[in-house]
Amino acid sequence: GQLLIRDIVDNFSLPLPLPLCRVLLLDSTSPVMQKWESDRGDTNYAKNAWSFPSGVPRESENQVTDRQLIASGSMMGAYRATSYDRIRNGEVVHLSETQIVDADDSRKLAFTVTERMPRRGFSIKMRILLRPETDTSTEATILGEFRPMGKNMSNQTAVHKAFLLVLNEVTMRYGTEGKGLMAGFVNAIHEFPEPINAASPPRNVVFSSSPVHESLFQQPRSPRQNRHRSMPSADSSITATSRSEEH
């Protein structure tokens, strides 16, 4: 079938520098990933450790923790598989996805998530791109790639309806509102132990293990402590809705 590409998140500004966003996205124990996975409602998560392909310089580092890998160098080429259970049509379905780091340097983090099982007859691949916006903020873009996999594509009305449903599901999963991944970033930042932007590493320092990074994994502050902390508005528009009517 024809490949369909849609914007899920378009140039969304995250109020953290790229090195910190990188840690929060790649480390499966980060507060952002844990809250996002919890809010999604999926259960029975099983995650393989990050691995590197044979023949690359970092192949021998496959036995260390996520945090050690992330702090010690570029994760380009790293991959892992994740599986989980989800309720679909009243039944529990076991699903899995493959995650691959396509680029990881001071200019960008590019990350691909490929769902292993078609959704409503469509294969799905998500491309997440983080780029430095300023020294204290990061620009996030997420694209969805959809390809119809069904053998019978004669009913174009039904195919288009299924595509719109899939597009809506993916937007809810990765978008800037509700339980989406980008919304999870903003929500988790509210609960960080203390203000961290002032102590953030320079923009070109991407691979590091610092007290700033470690503070992200401390227990969140109480609501009383959070009372005076302000955050930028997360009202960036999502272009997927307007573009989803295209064939």
More confident residue, 206 or 24: 24
- pLDDT tens digits, one per residue of 129-185: 999 999 989 999 999 999 988 766 677 888 889 899 999 999 999 999 988 999 888
> What pLDDT does 105 receive?
93
Q: What is the mean pLDDT of residues 44-55?
A: 87
> What pLDDT does 181 receive?
92
The least confident of 38-42, 54-58, 186-190, 227-231 is: 227-231
Angstrom distance (rounded) from CA 149 to CA 83:
21
Give 233's pLDDT tier (boundaries 50, 70, 90): very low
List Cα–Cα distances, 116 to 51, 82, 83, 234, in angstroms: 18, 10, 10, 31
pTM of the predicted model, to two decimals?
0.77
Q: What is the DSSP letter of 206?
A: -
> What pLDDT does 25 receive?
92
Q: What is the DSSP letter of 131?
A: E
- pLDDT tens digits, one per residue of 78-104: 999 999 998 877 889 899 999 999 999
For residue 85, the Cα-to-chain-centroid distance in whole angstroms is 18
> What pLDDT does 217 receive?
53
Instruction: Return the beta strands (E) in the chain as ranges.
Output: 4-14, 43-47, 79-88, 91-104, 109-115, 122-134, 137-148
Angstrom distance (rounded) from CA 206 to CA 104:
9
Give 60's pLDDT tier (boundaries 50, 70, 90): confident
Q: Is the pLDDT of residue 237 over 50?
A: no
Q: Is 45 helix (H, G, I), strand (E, B) or coil?
A: strand
Angstrom distance (rounded) from CA 242 to CA 45:
34
- According to DSSP, the residues that pair with 9 across neighbouring strands are 142
Residues in Cβ contact with 200 at an 8 Å cutoff, skipping those fewer than 6 apart: 16, 17, 19, 20, 135, 136, 212
Q: Among all chains, which residue has been given the structure tokens 């953030």?
A: 200
Q: Using alpha carbons, select from 138, 136, 118 the residue that is nearest to residue 128.
A: 138
